[in-house]
Amino acid sequence: MVEDFERCYLAVQSRDPRFDGWFYTAVTSTHIYCRPSCPAQTPMRQNVRFYPSAAAAQLAGFRACKRCRPDASPGSPEWNSRADVAARAMRLIGDGLVDREGVNGLAQRLGYSVRQLERVLQNEIGAGPISIARSQRAQTARILIETTTLAMTDVAFAAGFSSVRQFNDTVHAVYASSPTMLRARAKSPRTIAEASTAIELRLAFRQPLCPDNLFGHLAATAVPGVEEVRGQTYRRTLRLAHGPGIVELTPTPEYVSCRAVLSDMRDLTATIARSRWLLDLDADPVAIDRQLSVDPSLAPVVTKAPGRRVPRSVDGAEMALRAVLGQQVSTTAAQTHAGRLVQRHGEPISDRGGGLTHLFPLPSALTHADLAMPTNRRATFSALVMALQRGELDLGPGSDRDETMAALTTIPGVGPWTRQVIAMRALGDPNAFPESDLGVRHAAEQLGLPSTSAALVDRSQIWRPWRAYAVQYLWSVDEHRINDWPPKPLRPSRRTKETDD
Catalytic residues: 34, 437
Residue 278's Cβ-side half-sphere holds a number of Cα atoms within 13 Å equal to 29
Please say whether the beta carbons of 230 and 219 come within 8 A. no
* Interatomic CA distance for residues 259 and 43, integer angstroms: 37
Alpha carbon of residue 449 to chain centroid: 31
* Interatomic CA distance for residues 355 and 332, integer angstroms: 19
Mode of pairing for the β-strands spanning 243-251 and 63-64: unpaired
Alpha-carbon torsion angle 205, 208, 214, 216, nearest 10: 130
* Straight-line distance from the first to the last Cα atom of the chain, in angstroms, rounded to the nearest whole number: 47
Please say whether the beta carbons of 15 and 24 come within 8 A. no
Please say whether the beta carbons of 501 and 327 come within 8 A. yes
Burial class (CB in 10 A: 0-12, 13-18, 19+), 192: middle
Q: For residue 66, report the phi and psi dihedrals to the nearest 5 degrees.
A: -80, -10
Please say whether the beta carbons of 175 and 63 come within 8 A. yes
Please say whether the beta carbons of 171 and 71 come within 8 A. no
Which residues lie closer than 8 Å to 59 by C-beta, 6 or more apart?
Answer: 126, 127, 131
Residue type, 324: V
Please say whether the beta carbons of 269 and 135 come within 8 A. no
